[in-house]
Structure 1
Amino acid sequence: MKHSNLLTLFLPLLLSLLLLAPTTKAAMIQIDLGNAASGLIDGSTYALIPDILNAQAGQPAPFDAGIGSELFGDPANVNWQFNYGAIAESILSASFSFGIWDHDSAASGSQLDAFSLGGIDNTAALDVMFESGGGATDAQYSVYNFNLGAAFFADLADGNFSVDLDIGGTGLQTALFGGQVSETATNGYHLIYSSLSITFEDPSTPPSVPEPSTLLLIVLSLAGLKARIK
């Protein structure tokens, strides 16, 4: 079959597909717990505790105070929950993050006992993040990000998403005079914020179709192609 005949055959089909295949619209839920606008910078060191307490002022637990201590004992495990209402539509993507100060993963051993998202164990993944740079010095602020794949979608859809974090191990303490850093038998830290973002199909918005100008350009391009191959 000649190229011109192929073009004549498939041009109506192409235009029909463009008109009958609208683009799905998406909506997003964004929930922030704690102070997501603290101004603290990932990877930076904040040696003055008042800076951290100011960032936590007025926030809900566990984002309102220190958890555990380098001097007085390991922190208890903490839990926080996102509540946003059930999602009936198909979830397309999701992400999770949290900011933490002074978890001291540069100290010897592991500073993470357990970590789960929506009941799914993610201890190994977060431990790798901790040990590969986060908390590299005493009093460092670090942000950790997770892309939540399809394995999390069923739990996300019910409108409640829980996070469990258990930190322990040795810590780091900077001396008041001389600035010498030493290891401590216990560890403490401060949570600054946590965020959850979910993108899902939005049935309330009519699907979009290609703009008429876009269709016109396609038709003109095909017409030009047909003229060249005659």
Structure 2
Amino acid sequence: MKPSNLLNLFSPLLISLMFLSPTANAGLITSDLGNATSGLVDGNSYALIPDILTAQAGQPAPFDAGIGSELFGDPANVNWLFNYGAITDTILSASFSFGIWDHDSAASGSQLDAFSLGSIDTTVALDAMFESGGGATDAQYSVYTFNLGATFFADLADGNFSVDLDIGGAGLQTALMGGQVSETATNGYHLIYSSLNIVTEDSGPGPIPVPEPSTLLLFVLSLAGLKARIK
């Protein structure tokens, strides 16, 4: 074959290799409940209840109203369910988060009676988060995030992931006059949102193999040398 014909043969191949890119071999499932874009900032205090009610307006229960009260009794147990369809691919990782206002964990004792994600009791883990700084002042907004390891994957795979939250204990109340904070016998709070993110291994076609940059460079140099010899 003539050298010129070799160049004509390999040039389209080189151009194709340069523009090929691998496809992502992973999938992301995201499910949000409540107002995930409320604008409330983790760690900030929001003393005006209208700000919280605005963030909850039009949301589904239990993200639509206050739960319990510092004046009239402990909140009832609440739960919510993520429904996103069964997962057939391999789960690689997952995370869960929720935003809560005014749960008052700075008050004495524990403000958490029980908490579970799927079938797994995670009360101890969330209680440690509560007591280490979340809800450190009255009317504080806090976001809590869990990285869900392999022990949660079976619960995640069926496409329905439940959350169960039971808050109680003492609360905090800020006086209208003077702003003095006092402890109350009961507690109340508002849930703003909750999110679930699951990363899976895509069972579809794998990535398109692409040569390493060094391989492409050698190929280009070889063509350049071949072109120089035929001049």
- Structure 2 length-normalised TM: 0.82
Measure how far apart 1:102 and its partner are: 0.1
What SS class does the counterpart of residue 75 from structure 2 fall into? coil
Measure how far apart 1:216 and its partner are: 3.4
Is this contact kept in 1: 2:103–2:187, CA < 8 A? yes
Cα deviation digits, residues 137-180 of structure 1 (max 9, x gap): 00000000000000001110000000000000000000000000
Instruction: Report the equivalent of 1:182.
Output: 182
What SS class does the counterpart of residue 136 from structure 1 fall into? coil
Unmatched 5+ stretches in structure 1 = 1-21, 221-230
Instruction: Report the equivalent of 2:107.
Output: 107
Unmatched 5+ stretches in structure 2 = 1-21, 221-231
Is this contact kept in 2: 1:24–1:201, CA < 8 A? no
Instruction: Report the equivalent of 1:66.
Output: 66
Letter in 1 for 2:177: F
Q: Is residue 2:68 matched to residue 1:93?
A: no
Q: Out of 211-220 and 149-158, give the one that drifted further.
A: 211-220
Residues 1:155 and 1:173: Cα distance change in structure 2 (over 3 Å) = same
Is this contact kept in 2: 1:25–1:208, CA < 8 A? no
Q: Is residue 2:154 matched to residue 1:158?
A: no
Written as runs of structure 1 = structure 2, the 5 A alignment for 1:117-128 is 117-128=117-128
Measure how far apart 1:214 and its partner are: 5.0
Measure how far apart 1:219 and its partner are: 9.2
Is this contact kept in 2: 1:116–1:163, CA < 8 A? yes
* RMSD across aligned positions (CA): 1.8
Instruction: Report the equivalent of 1:208.
Output: 208
Q: Return the alpha-carbon distance in structure 2 between the equivalents of residues 205 and 53 of structure 1.
A: 47
Residues 1:76 and 1:25: Cα distance change in structure 2 (over 3 Å) = same
Is this contact kept in 2: 1:23–1:209, CA < 8 A? no
Letter in 1 for 2:91: I
Cα deviation digits, residues 45-79 of structure 1 (max 9, x gap): 00000000000000000000000000000000100
- Structure 1 length-normalised TM: 0.83
Written as runs of structure 1 = structure 2, the 5 A alignment for 1:1-230 is 25-211=25-211, 213=213, 215-216=215-216
Residues 1:67 and 1:204: Cα distance change in structure 2 (over 3 Å) = same
Is this contact kept in 1: 2:23–2:206, CA < 8 A? no
Measure how far apart 1:207 and its partner are: 2.2
Measure how far apart 1:205 and its partner are: 4.4
What SS class does the counterpart of residue 110 from structure 1 fall into? coil
Is this contact kept in 1: 2:56–2:192, CA < 8 A? yes
Cα deviation digits, residues 206-227 of structure 1 (max 9, x gap): 323234535436999xxxxxxx
Larger radius of gyration: 2
Q: Return the alpha-carbon distance in structure 2 between the equivalents of residues 58 and 40 of structure 1.
A: 16
Is this contact kept in 1: 2:117–2:163, CA < 8 A? yes
Identity of aligned residues (%): 79
Q: Return the alpha-carbon distance in structure 2 between the equivalents of residues 119 and 42 of structure 1.
A: 28
